[in-house]
A and B are shown apart, each in its own frame.
Chain A
Amino acid sequence: DTEVTQTPKHLVMGMTNKKSLKCEQHMGHRAMYWYKQKAKKPPELMFVYSYEKLSINESVPSRFSPECPNSSLLNLHLHALQPEDSALYLCASSQVTGAALNTEAFFGQGTRLTVV
């Protein structure tokens, strides 16, 4: 099973709503990621969790709040978003290896978020 599952696939939310994006993998990967992808642009890294601890936060606004409740799940809590936050949000996972070593990341299909 090399699948990363993201739910929901589509989400429309108002600027005052609170919603959550979910990501799940069962490959035993201990690194999980959130990326944001605007139309016709490459994915941009938002957060990295390593062994369920936040290891990288790429200066993401606090209206995005990640959570890693266990080694298989990654959530992204959304609150008071702006229309410019509309994008495809991609989750990924990979193994964690030693310093300076990396391995491939597997991506989910993404959640297409529209903020109205």
Chain B
Amino acid sequence: GEDVEQSLFLSVREGDSSVINCTYTDSSSTYLYWYKQEPGAGLQLLTYIFSNMDMKQDQRLTVLLNKKDKHLSLRIADTQTGDSAIYFCAESRGYGQNFVFGPGTRLSVLP
């Protein structure tokens, strides 16, 4: 995960919006992903964005991609306690589908 960076912690109040940021280094990455991992569980794909897009919205989730700055963000609207988890940004590199994960951002939602 050394080439994909994320802040490690984020705390928000229930009902507020959460914004989780990610930077990546490989300009050849074609897809960028957000995965959610709850304690002791596997990774759940939340959403992904193709590198020729700059925004994707899916219900409460909005992904923004700034390809020039290699910056990806995930915005969760109306954050709920069930959103508390670790969120991993990931990029895929070339043929062979080598997914590279960031270190994960631990989101804590306070009542």
Q: Which residues of A contact B (CB under 8 A)?
A: 4, 6, 31, 33, 41-45, 48, 50, 55-56, 88, 90, 92, 94, 96, 98-110, 112
Report the interface size for chain B: residues with CB under 8 A from the other chain. 26
Q: Is the CB of B48 within 8 A of A107?
A: no
Q: Is the CB of B98 within 8 A of A42?
A: no
Q: Is the CB of A41 within 8 A of B103?
A: yes
Give 1 or 0 for each of B36-59: 1 = CB within 8 Å of chain A CB: 000011111100100000000000
For the A-B complex, the count of residue pairs with Cβ-Cβ distances under 8 Å equals 69
Q: Is the CB of B42 within 8 A of A96?
A: no
**Chain B residues whose CB sits within 8 angstroms of the CB of A90 once the complex forms:** 42-43
Q: Is the CB of A107 within 8 A of B97?
A: no
Nearest-neighbor residue (CB-CB) of A110 within chain B: B42
Q: Is the CB of B31 within 8 A of A103?
A: yes
**Chain B residues whose CB sits within 8 angstroms of the CB of A42 once the complex forms:** 1, 88, 101-104
**Chain B residues whose CB sits within 8 angstroms of the CB of A88 once the complex forms:** 40
